[in-house]
């Protein structure tokens, strides 16, 4: 996998070094141009101050560069200081050439250009203050003759020097732009590769967990307690089918099943924990929760949708020659679980653990083919919107007390015309009738009980 930070330190060091060398070159060119301008001034006025100043401007760039190398991490701020000194020295040089018109214009333009390109408004202010300070200090040593003359020899030296400076700077900027384009393209290609790797990685973890990682949150070992609804499912007799089918059609069948079930889980915002063969584990309430009630409704709604969609898949499989009907068994439980990253710093597994998780798994094992068994904790959260049939108590491995379970039928809104099942609860009244389960010998007793109840209700008040 590509590492976006792999090149950073070495490349930054080389880039920094390249900038420093170019800055040294441009500063040297400006000092040479100023020294050459002073040299031509000697033909007009041979002054030891001018000679010494010209020599100093030739030596100064090399000395300042060696000083800059000693500053290390403070290099950038140190360069800005020496560039301000450059402006002050140029101001002094213009005093010594008596502000010859063309050199003055060109050197002033050079200072403005260099400061604005390399530092913006703040640097422009500082460099111009240094330039004025250089003029003021040199004026104490040399009284300029303010004729603003345009001596050809002096102007020629300044023109050649500063023109060379701008030409070389233009070549440098062209090289910078070219390298920037190359680097931009390299970054674009690296980003594309990272996006492809990210897409491939996203297939191995649930969308919710992937989103948490990509949001920049630190991923480390750690767990927390949360109220979750946990879902387990498997296909009855899949092991037998795997012995009858060839590996290729078996793989296609299983992948189709898991793909379809995963899409349903994502639609209901479930966090897919893992696939174990044909078994699927999904939990609701982490990393994002809609509240315990809504999480439970999503889990049960997902189970109902999966059961219905499996019927469509069975039709496809029959066409493909799979005659054995595959039925789903589902177990759902709600309770406090331990959720988070388990494992080591180098290999983590984001999952849920706890007694409530084990109970959901046990309910799935206890369910009949096509049945969705839920615990009483889940039933209490969904009973107002989901029609369930009480299955009584079952013995569950690992639990000392029997567990009350309910069989999920469908959404109540989908059972409006279903007359074989009636359920009504209110204060002082409870009715649960399932004609599919009511034996013929008990129907007379049920009718008698309903008639007695109706008579007593009428006697207690007006209807």
| DSSP-assigned letters across all residues of 88-104 | HHHHHHHHHTTT-HHHH
Average pLDDT over residues 86-94: 87
Question: Model confidence over 403-433: pLDDT tens digits?
Answer: 999 999 999 888 765 556 666 656 677 676 7
> Do 23 and 134 have their domain in common?
yes
Q: Among 20-29, 232-241, 287-296, 398-407, which stretch is predicted with the lowest mean pLDDT?
A: 20-29
Number of domains in the chain: 3
Q: How far apart are CA 400 and CA 414, in angstroms?
A: 37
The model's confidence at residue 33, banded by pLDDT at 50, 70 and 90, is confident
- Residue 44, domain member (yes or no): yes
pLDDT of residue 12: 47
Which residue's entry shows tokens 């499989």?
317
Quick one: 140 and 31 in the same domain? yes
Cα 282 from Cα 233, distance rounded (Å):
9
Looking at the structure, tell me whether residues 434 and 458 fall in a common domain. Answer: yes
- Residue 174 placed within a domain: yes
Tell whether 440 and 460 lie within a shared domain: yes
Residues 285, 401, single domain; the answer is yes
Using H for helix, E for strand and C for coil, what is the string for 317-361?
HHHCCCCCCCEEEEEEEEEEEEEEEEECCCCEEEEEECHHHHHHH
Q: Please give the residue range of the domain that contains residue 452.
A: 421-463
Asked which of 143, 171, 193 is the last residue of a domain, the reply is 193
Q: Which of 91, 73, 74, 71 is nearest to 31 (CA)?
A: 91
Q: Same domain for 152 and 77?
A: yes
Q: Tell me, what's the pLDDT at 8? A: 47
Q: Report d(CA 28, CA 86) in Å as an integer.
A: 10
Note the Cα 106 to chain centre separation in Å: 51
Q: Which residues face 88 on adjacent strands?
A: none
User: Are residues 323 and 394 located together in one domain of the fold?
Assistant: yes
| 102 found inside a domain | yes
**Cis, bond preceding 287 (omega within 30 deg of 0):** yes
Q: What's the rounded mean pLDDT across residues 218-240? A: 84
pLDDT band at residue 202, thresholds of 50, 70 and 90?
Answer: low
Same domain, 345 and 406: yes
Contact 227, 291 (CB under 8 A): no
- Per DSSP (E only), the strands in 361-428 are 372-375, 386-394, 403-411, 421-426
Q: What is the pLDDT of residue 6?
A: 44
Residues 318 and 448 grouped into a single domain: no
Instruction: Please tell me which of 34-48, 92-106, 253-267 the model is most confident about, judged by mean pLDDT.
Output: 253-267
Q: What rounded mean pLDDT belongs to the chain?
A: 81
Question: Do 434 and 296 belong together in one domain?
Answer: no
Distances (CA, A) of 263 to 275, 285, 286, 329: 14, 18, 18, 18
Q: Is there a domain that residue 463 lies in?
A: yes
pLDDT in tens, 379-397: 999 998 999 988 889 998 8
Q: What whole-number distance in Å separates Cα of residue 105 and Cα of residue 123?
A: 20
Torsion angle defined by CA atoms of residues 63, 65, 70 and 71, in that order, rounded to the nearest 10 degrees: 120
Q: Does 198 fall in a domain?
A: no
* Closest among 288, 301, 381, 394 to 334, alpha carbons compared: 381
Using CA atoms, how far residue 375 sits from 104, 330, 335, in Å, is 91, 11, 10
CA distance 459 to 463: 9
Which residues share a beta bridge with 374? 332, 406
Same structural domain for residues 67 and 119? yes
**Do both 309 and 445 map to the same domain?**
no
CA–CA distance, 342 with 221 (Å, rounded to integer) = 6
Query: How far apart are the C-alpha atoms of 20 and 82, rounded to whole Å?
Result: 12
| Average pLDDT of the segment spanning 444-461 | 81
d(CA 204, CA 1) in angstroms, rounded, equals 15
Q: How far is CA 176 from CA 180, 191, 408, in A?
A: 6, 22, 69
Domain for residue 339, yes or no? yes
Q: What is the CATH number of the domain that holds 370?
A: 3.30.70.1230
What six digits make up the tokens of 450?
Answer: 């309903």
Per the listing, tokens 């793989």 go with 251
Q: Is 218 within a domain?
A: no
pLDDT in tens, 352-375: 999 999 999 999 999 999 999 999
Angstrom distance (rounded) from CA 341 to CA 318: 41
Residue 325 has pLDDT above 50, yes or no: yes
> pLDDT grade, residue 235 (50/70/90)?
very high
Reply yes or no on whether the pLDDT at 306 is more than 90: yes
393 lies in some domain: yes
């Amino acid at each position: 996998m590509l590492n976006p930070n792999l090149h950073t330190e070495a490349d930054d060091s080389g880039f920094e070094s390249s900038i420093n060398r170019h800055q040294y070159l441009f500063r040297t060119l400006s000092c040479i141009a100023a020294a050459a301008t002073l040299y031509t001034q000697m033909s007009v006025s041979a002054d030891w101050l001018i000679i010494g100043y010209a020599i100093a401007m030739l030596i100064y760039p090399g000395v300042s560069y060696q000083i800059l190398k000693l500053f290390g991490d403070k290099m950038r701020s140190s360069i800005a200081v020496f560039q301000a000194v450059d402006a002050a020295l140029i101001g002094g040089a213009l005093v010594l050439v008596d502000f010859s018109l063309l050199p003055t214009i060109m050197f002033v333009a050079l200072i403005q250009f260099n400061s604005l390109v390399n530092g913006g408004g703040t640097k422009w202010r500082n460099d111009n203050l240094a330039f004025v300070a250089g003029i003021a200090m040199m004026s104490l040593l040399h009284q300029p003759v303010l004729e603003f003359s345009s001596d050809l020899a002096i102007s020629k030296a300044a023109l050649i020097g500063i023109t060379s400076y701008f030409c070389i700077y233009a070549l440098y900027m062209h090289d910078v732009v070219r390298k920037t384009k190359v680097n931009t393209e390299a970054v674009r290609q690296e980003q594309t590769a990272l996006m492809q790797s990210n897409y491939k990685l996203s297939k191995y973890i649930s969308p919710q967990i992937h989103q948490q990682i990509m949001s920049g949150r630190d991923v480390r070992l750690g767990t927390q307690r949360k109220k979750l609804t946990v879902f387990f499912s498997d296909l009855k007799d899949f092991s037998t089918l795997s012995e009858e089918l060839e590996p290729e059609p078996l793989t296609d069948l299983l992948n189709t099943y898991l793909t379809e079930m995963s899409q349903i889980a994502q639609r209901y915002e479930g966090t897919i924990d893992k696939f174990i063969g044909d078994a699927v584990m999904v939990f609701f309430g982490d990393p994002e929760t809609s509240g315990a009630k809504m999480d439970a409704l999503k889990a049960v709604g997902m189970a109902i949708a999966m059961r219905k969609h499996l019927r469509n898949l069975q039709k496809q499989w029959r066409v493909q020659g799979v005659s054995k009907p595959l039925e789903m068994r589902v177990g759902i439980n709600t309770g406090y679980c331990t959720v988070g990253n388990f494992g080591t710093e180098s290999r983590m597994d984001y999952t849920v653990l706890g007694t409530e998780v084990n109970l959901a798994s046990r309910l799935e094992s206890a369910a009949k083919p096509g049945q969705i068994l839920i615990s009483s904790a889940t039933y209490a959260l969904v009973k107002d919107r989901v029609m369930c049939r009480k299955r009584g108590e079952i013995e569950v491995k690992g639990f000392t007390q029997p567990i009350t379970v309910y069989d999920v039928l469908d959404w109540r809104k989908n059972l409006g015309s279903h007359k074989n099942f009636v359920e009504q609860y209110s204060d002082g009244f409870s009715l649960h009738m399932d004609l599919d389960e009511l034996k013929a010998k008990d129907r007379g007793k049920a009718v008698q009980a309903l008639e007695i109840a109706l008579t007593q209700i009428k006697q207690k008040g007006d209807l």
